[in-house]
A and B are shown apart, each in its own frame.
Chain A
């Protein structure tokens, strides 16, 4: 286990409200990722980070922003949640130099009503 903690694990919110999901790691890994998982779509990359304050967009970044002010924390923010953002969100870290293997957190289930 790479010491990845996601919070909250479950959240129900209303359309238009802001939501922040947190991913915390304890092993000082450089690369961190946010994916969303939806039936029929598998995992889709939202944003990833390759260092403190260094982030890049994935394939479904619209409506999401991220921040990484310290190595151990990678925050995903929905500025104004919509029902289409109801999903399970997974954080992942890239383990090992050159290994390119992702290790995933337990997931955060978000429901937007």
Chain B
């Protein structure tokens, strides 16, 4: 069965630090890839998505992610985090032409002011 691995359980950064959160998946075919964010007390919201084309995708709030097919990875990055980025981040994988969406265990990001 396909799986999604997020390497970091909890990341703590100071404001203005750079962020990279890892995501790897095990599905071998064509996939759609997503990052969702869950701010404290809220439900999940889409941060960015990759379907095809340029492997570097940009999302909201200055986030970007790079799809590296050979490494089955879709890492999330942000050059300079803010206190308001404190949240839990989830990577998700959806096989192409399949509506089964699987999530990673999530990475909790704490940004210290």
Binds A, one of B14-22, B65-73, B94-102: B94-102
Q: Roughly how many angstroms separate A31 CA and B98 CA in the complex, as a whole number?
A: 11
Shortest CB-to-CB span from A93 to chain B, Å, is: 11
Q: Which of A45-100 contact B (CB under 8 A)?
A: 45, 48, 50, 58-59, 90, 92, 94, 100
Shortest CB-to-CB span from B108 to chain A, Å, is: 9
Q: Nearest residue in A to B104 (C-beta to C-beta)?
A: A42
- A104's partner among B1, B44, B99, B105 (CB-CB below 8 A) is B44
Q: Roughly how many angstroms separate A59 CA and B34 CA in the complex, as a whole number?
A: 19
In the complex, what residues of A have CB within 8 A of residue B94's CB? 100
B9 within 8 A of A: yes
Q: Is the CB of A43 within 8 A of B100?
A: no
- B103's partner among A42, A101, A103, A107 (CB-CB below 8 A) is A42
Q: Which of A20-59 contact B (CB under 8 A)?
A: 31, 33, 35, 40-45, 48, 50, 58-59
- A40's partner among B9, B43, B92 (CB-CB below 8 A) is B9
Q: Is the CB of B99 within 8 A of A90?
A: no
> Chain B: how many interface residues by the 8 Å CB criterion?
23
B12 within 8 A of A: no
Q: Is the CB of B105 within 8 A of A42?
A: yes
Q: Which of B6, B32, B51, B102 has the most CB of A within 10 A?
A: B102
In the complex, what residues of B have CB within 8 A of residue A105's CB? 43
Q: Is the CB of A48 within 8 A of B99?
A: yes
Q: Is the CB of A102 within 8 A of B101?
A: yes
Given known contacts A101-B46, A107-B43, A59 and B102 CB-to-CB distance under 8 angstroms? yes
A106 within 8 A of B: yes
In the complex, what residues of B have CB within 8 A of residue A43's CB? 44, 90, 103, 106
Q: Which of B16-65 contact A (CB under 8 A)?
A: 32, 34, 36, 43-46, 49, 51
